[in-house]
Chains A and B, each alone.
Chain A
């Protein structure tokens, strides 16, 4: 099998070597349960709190504002269901139709538990309009949840404006910032939200650790129960190596974030420029002027996303489309359906996402492959 060029960093990023080594070291050095009263437990606890401090410093919150979970999806679940439970399942929730499924499906659960949910529609730009979000807020709205960067399109949502308006009205604001940590346009220390979800595997840390940042005393109740871990908000023995590895990955990213973003942007733009210049019928999804650096979402009307992704895999380009369903086959993207770009564009969209493992040379090679594959497939359709 050929070596692949990995253009799926929005799905997950490969952990840095130093991070993996650090994790092995932590697993070996701190085998005890951080909740235990004995000395080995105390050592693990101290290590855990050092990692917590890293996240707390990065987001400008006290240590109790950092809640570790097992993944970004769980942190989104805690934000939504935790708020719902703290409000005794009464009230109204507002979000967007283009949110990640981990937000949408937890909202659906809240709805089934008796709460009301409004999903605000987003147009073809893939960017929500602040006024429309605010117009959906009611007297009894207890939480508004809007993502920072859309995971499929890369489009940046106006969370600063939304947060400012919601603060005046005293409504809690949650932001799924899973795709946004590396984007230098966001100042993490002054991030515009009360509850913020991040996942360490999106910035070269390990899988298996998510974080919910909580500012102040925003009402929240634990969902995973069974112990007093994480300020009584999330029970379960800590995954200490992953948390430590995640903290290290965050520090390494923040040390070079501006340069990193610049490099990624250059690669993404070069890739897109090459594919568009080849005139193979590619169109960009989402407003190109309001995008974070890592993602290029292209449609090739007339072709199918699934065929493109599989053929590109055979040719050595690893990318993705829509979301994988339980059996591992692809579903047509709910995001593209939601922004109303038309069925043909939704069914032929492919997401390329760039990262540290890529070089400019790789990216140019990949763009050539994409053009070649699209030409071949279009040829096949004419003949067939």
Chain B
């Protein structure tokens, strides 16, 4: 018996190769493993995440490994806490991160509770991330395969949750994971990577989905204004815009980007790329993954989107509210996304972005004209 020595662990299985291999590795380590697929969308067709076929694949992998597999119905909470909130964020001119919302409210809350109810203290997932111990304290760290590292989406993990989570594929590269799956003949070995937001897969675009949910124009039309205060045209609703977006639906005469969305006046501001860099990020609240590891006044590496080169930034408390003063500007930082703080490979925490201050606002390059 290895590390597992018969301890019971639940593996969250999407029906993909990463979580299949996670289950396999835990079986090898001697854990008593239970596979669990969350039914989030009630899909019957297609081979994608949590559809009937995907659940079937997870079941087949578990059968092959000689372990139990259960499907749990989390459709109602997923719909309420992930999908509805996704739509509501866009409605309010914010850019949601549904993968973090899903981890936060569904996987690391509800699934962890179900695991405990099944007598399992531990929950494993197929995320490319690691837990490491430093000086007797537990930390979350980036996945060993930097090109696949998913730690950004895990910055919402609380200290209590961290102690109950394991990421068995975090030490491996994607190639190694596929290799193990092929060696073992798992049905999921060659499944393609899931890329997009799972509940958008049946839609042509995010725009189409949001329009269906909110109703076309129901959120109120508004103006598209350039950085000099010139009105470029009308838009159907702020819910169709995100910071850094290039396609705005009207001609601007030059290449422009959305740099600010004002939900009050429903105005979308656009301008050249030099307007995008952000100097300050204000957080709604700060989640500290390892207690005591984040200190106001210290400089950390900051990432404000998934695949983004992190830049140094100082964490300060401004009237009690966490604020990050970036030492190098970051482009296209959108309120609603998360800013995540790293020290080398360690993920120390982060929080949802409440607002930002653009570099240009300091330089006074920006004419604050209202239409």
Residues of A within 8 A of B (CB): 1, 306-307, 310-311, 313-314, 325-331, 376-377, 380, 384
Chain B nearest CB: distance from A101 CB in Å? 15
Q: Is B117 at the interface (CB under 8 A from chain A)? A: yes
27 examples of A-B residue contacts, CB within 8 angstroms: A306-B72, A306-B114, A307-B118, A310-B118, A311-B117, A311-B118, A311-B119, A313-B68, A314-B34, A325-B73, A326-B52, A327-B39, A327-B44, A327-B51, A327-B52, A327-B55, A328-B39, A328-B55, A329-B71, A329-B72, A330-B73, A376-B119, A377-B117, A380-B116, A380-B117, A384-B113, A384-B116
CA distance A331 to B75 in the complex (A): 10
Q: Within B43-59, which residues are at the interface with A (CB < 8 Å)?
A: 43-44, 50-52, 55, 59
B39 & A329 in contact (Cβ 8 Å cutoff): yes
CA distance A310 to B52 in the complex (A): 19
A329 & B117 in contact (Cβ 8 Å cutoff): no
Partner of A314, one of B51, B52, B72, B119: B119
How would residues 54 to 78 of chain B score, 1 for a CB under 8 Å from any chain A CB and 0 otherwise? 0100010000000010111101000
How would residues 109 to 148 of chain B score, 1 for a CB under 8 Å from any chain A CB and 0 otherwise? 0000110111100000000000000000000000000000
Chain B nearest CB: distance from A70 CB in Å? 21
Minimal Cβ-Cβ distance residue in A for B53: A327
Chain B nearest CB: distance from A84 CB in Å? 26
B39 & A1 in contact (Cβ 8 Å cutoff): no
Partner of B117, one of A1, A307, A326: A307
CA distance A137 to B207 in the complex (A): 49
CA distance A17 to B68 in the complex (A): 27
Chain B nearest CB: distance from A3 CB in Å? 14
Number of A-B contacts (CB under 8 A): 55
Q: Is B185 at the interface (CB under 8 A from chain A)? A: no
Partner of A329, one of B59, B73, B116: B73
Minimal Cβ-Cβ distance residue in B for A314: B118
Q: Is B297 at the interface (CB under 8 A from chain A)? A: no
Q: Is B42 at the interface (CB under 8 A from chain A)? A: yes
List A contacts of B51 (CB < 8 A).
327
CA distance A376 to B116 in the complex (A): 10
CA distance A74 to B322 in the complex (A): 63
A325 & B42 in contact (Cβ 8 Å cutoff): yes
Residues of B within 8 A of A (CB): 34, 37, 39, 42-44, 50-52, 55, 59, 68, 70-73, 75, 113-114, 116-119
Partner of B73, one of A313, A331, A380, A384: A331
CA distance A325 to B51 in the complex (A): 12
CA distance A331 to B116 in the complex (A): 21
CA distance A369 to B39 in the complex (A): 28
List B contacts of A314 (CB < 8 A).
34, 68, 118-119
Which of B42, B44, B71, B114 has the largest count of A CB atoms less than 10 A from its CB?
B71
List B contacts of A380 (CB < 8 A).
116-117
Minimal Cβ-Cβ distance residue in B for A327: B39
List B contacts of A376 (CB < 8 A).
119
Minimal Cβ-Cβ distance residue in B for A307: B117
CA distance A132 to B70 in the complex (A): 41
Minimal Cβ-Cβ distance residue in B for A381: B117
CA distance A8 to B52 in the complex (A): 23
Q: Given contacts A307-B117, A307-B118, A380-B116, list 20 more A-B pairs with CB under 8 A.
A: A306-B73, A306-B114, A310-B70, A310-B72, A310-B117, A310-B118, A311-B117, A311-B118, A311-B119, A325-B42, A325-B73, A327-B37, A327-B42, A327-B51, A327-B55, A328-B55, A328-B71, A330-B73, A331-B73, A376-B119
CA distance A326 to B73 in the complex (A): 11
Chain A nearest CB: distance from B196 CB in Å? 20
List A contacts of B117 (CB < 8 A).
307, 310-311, 377, 380
CA distance A314 to B32 in the complex (A): 11
Minimal Cβ-Cβ distance residue in B for A310: B70
A327 & B68 in contact (Cβ 8 Å cutoff): no
Chain A nearest CB: distance from B201 CB in Å? 16
Which of A307, A326, A327, A377 has the largest count of B CB atoms less than 10 A from its CB?
A327
Chain A nearest CB: distance from B301 CB in Å? 35
Minimal Cβ-Cβ distance residue in A for B76: A332
CA distance A291 to B355 in the complex (A): 62
List A contacts of B114 (CB < 8 A).
306-307, 310
CA distance A376 to B117 in the complex (A): 8
List B contacts of A326 (CB < 8 A).
42, 44, 52
Chain B nearest CB: distance from A86 CB in Å? 32
Which of A310, A325, A329 has the largest count of B CB atoms less than 10 A from its CB?
A329
List A contacts of B43 (CB < 8 A).
327
Chain B nearest CB: distance from A262 CB in Å? 36
Chain A nearest CB: distance from B42 CB in Å? 7
Chain B nearest CB: distance from A313 CB in Å? 8
Which of B50, B73, B114, B119 has the largest count of A CB atoms less than 10 A from its CB?
B73
Minimal Cβ-Cβ distance residue in B for A383: B116
CA distance A313 to B68 in the complex (A): 10
Chain A nearest CB: distance from B358 CB in Å? 44
CA distance A330 to B43 in the complex (A): 14
CA distance A328 to B43 in the complex (A): 11
CA distance A1 to B33 in the complex (A): 11
Minimal Cβ-Cβ distance residue in A for B34: A314
CA distance A384 to B114 in the complex (A): 11
Chain B nearest CB: distance from A174 CB in Å? 29
List B contacts of A311 (CB < 8 A).
117-119
List A contacts of B59 (CB < 8 A).
328
Which of B44, B55, B59, B70 has the largest count of A CB atoms less than 10 A from its CB?
B70
CA distance A327 to B118 in the complex (A): 20
List A contacts of B119 (CB < 8 A).
311, 314, 376
CA distance A382 to B170 in the complex (A): 34
Which of B39, B43, B51, B117 has the largest count of A CB atoms less than 10 A from its CB?
B117
List the 7 closest A-B pairs by CB distance, nearest first: A329-B73, A329-B39, A328-B71, A329-B71, A327-B39, A307-B117, A326-B44
CA distance A103 to B72 in the complex (A): 26
Chain A nearest CB: distance from B122 CB in Å? 15
CA distance A314 to B116 in the complex (A): 13
CA distance A330 to B75 in the complex (A): 11
List A contacts of B70 (CB < 8 A).
310, 313
List A contacts of B34 (CB < 8 A).
314
CA distance A328 to B73 in the complex (A): 9
Chain B nearest CB: distance from A307 CB in Å? 4
CA distance A234 to B75 in the complex (A): 38
Chain A nearest CB: distance from B193 CB in Å? 22
